[in-house]
Amino acid sequence: MKIKKVVVGELYTNCYILENIDKCLIIDPGDEFDKIKTIIDKEVMGVLITHRHFDHIGALDDVLKYYDVNVYDKANLNEGLNNIDCFSFIVNYNPGHTLDSISFIFNDIMFSGDFIFKDSIGRYDLGGDFELMKLSIKNILNSNINYIIYPGHGNKTYLDNERNMLESYIK
Give tens-digit pLDDT for 24-74.
999 999 999 999 999 999 999 999 999 999 999 999 999 999 999 999 999
Residue 98's pLDDT is what? Answer: 97
> pLDDT band for position 11 (50/70/90)?
very high
Helix, strand and coil content of the chain, in percent to the nearest 5, comes to: 25, 35, 40
pLDDT at position 101 over 90: yes
The residues with which 105 forms a beta bridge, in sequence order, are: 90, 110
pLDDT at position 146 over 90: yes
Residue 126's pLDDT is what? Answer: 86
Question: Which pairs count as long-range contacts for 125-132, CB under 8 Å and 24+ apart, including other chains?
Answer: 126/53, 126/97, 126/98, 127/53, 127/98, 127/99, 128/95, 128/96, 128/97, 128/98, 128/99, 128/101, 129/95, 129/96, 129/99, 130/96, 132/95, 132/96, 132/99
Task: Summarize pLDDT for 108-132 with one digit per residue, the tens.
Answer: 999 999 999 999 999 999 889 999 9
pTM of the shown model: 0.97
CATH number of 2-170: 3.60.15.10
Contacts for 134 with CB less than 8 Å, ≥ 6 apart = 96, 169, 170
> pLDDT band for position 171 (50/70/90)?
confident
